[in-house]
Amino acid sequence: MALHAAALAGVLARPRHWRWAAGAVVLDQALLTGAGMLPRSRWLGPNLSRLEDPGRAVALTFDDGPDPEVTPRVLDMLDEAGMRASFFCIGARARAQAALVGEIARRGHTVENHSMNHLYRFAALGPRALAREVMTAQAILADCTGAPPVWFRAPMGLRSPLLQPVLESAGLRLASWSRRALDGVSGDQGAAVRRLTRGLAAGDVLLMHDGNCARDREGRPVVLSAMPPLLLRLRQSGLLGRALPRAA
């Protein structure tokens, strides 16, 4: 804003130099847009992509659910392995599957905010529409579990500079990831496991999908065929899967 004001003042004072002012504004916009297109960048505000003080833990996170077919089976696998996770739920899906969202929390996991409608144009929304996408989901998810989410993950990880003030007023912090399975786009479960485990270390934040997941060759949601080898690998490495921390 300050740069835009300075550019305008510059143009008013020296109209001949308008190209410099316009160039500065365009460059500023390009930098802000570029920062928003990098899911793990911190240029637009705080952004968690690794755990601090992880001990022997990695964070397991699942996006785009809840899904009535996939989510309950993910919950069973986590129970069996004695591990916990954070579920970044889409508000509209949570409204349709409120009991399932409650079940996620009841079984010891955390439910976090992944916007109301997971719009592809999320990063291009104006301030009011953006606030609506965040706040409506926040209210629905708090209703389902009895505790409001503390983390927000932007749809596709893309965001604009307008997001940070909305998150602050909702008491939310931005979370991204350090490794992702790409199980929303690729049906190759071997590749998904490799993406998550090659060089895996304590503190990593793993991103998988219990909603919108791709199917493997047998038609199974990739996350369900990728989880057993992933959980085995965690156990063999002495790593524990846990949710993102709730306290600041």
**Catalytic sites, residue numbers:** 63, 209
Nearer to Zn ion, 21 or 64 (CB): 64
Residues near Zn ion (CB under 5 A), total: 2
Give the footprint of Zn ion on residues 19-78 (CB under 5 A): 63-64
Radius of gyration of the chain from Cα atoms?
Answer: 20
**Does 210 sit near Zn ion (CB under 5 A)?**
no
Burial 95-113 (b: 16+ CB within 10 A, else e): bebbebbbbbbeeebbbbb
Beta strand segments in the chain, E: 57-63, 86-89, 110-113, 151-152, 173-174, 179-180, 205-209, 240-242
213, 182 contact by CB (below 8 A): no
Contacts 24+ apart (CB under 8 A), 29-38: 32/160, 32/161, 33/160, 35/161, 36/123, 36/158, 36/159, 36/160, 36/161, 37/123, 37/158
Nearer to Zn ion, 133 or 240 (CB): 133
Nearer to Zn ion, 41 or 212 (CB): 212
Nearer to Zn ion, 21 or 150 (CB): 150
Provide the β-strand partners of residue 151: 173
Contacts of 228 (CB under 8 A, 6+ apart): 77
> How many residues are given for the chain?
248
Nearer to Zn ion, 65 or 203 (CB): 65
Binding site for Zn ion (CB under 5 A): 63-64
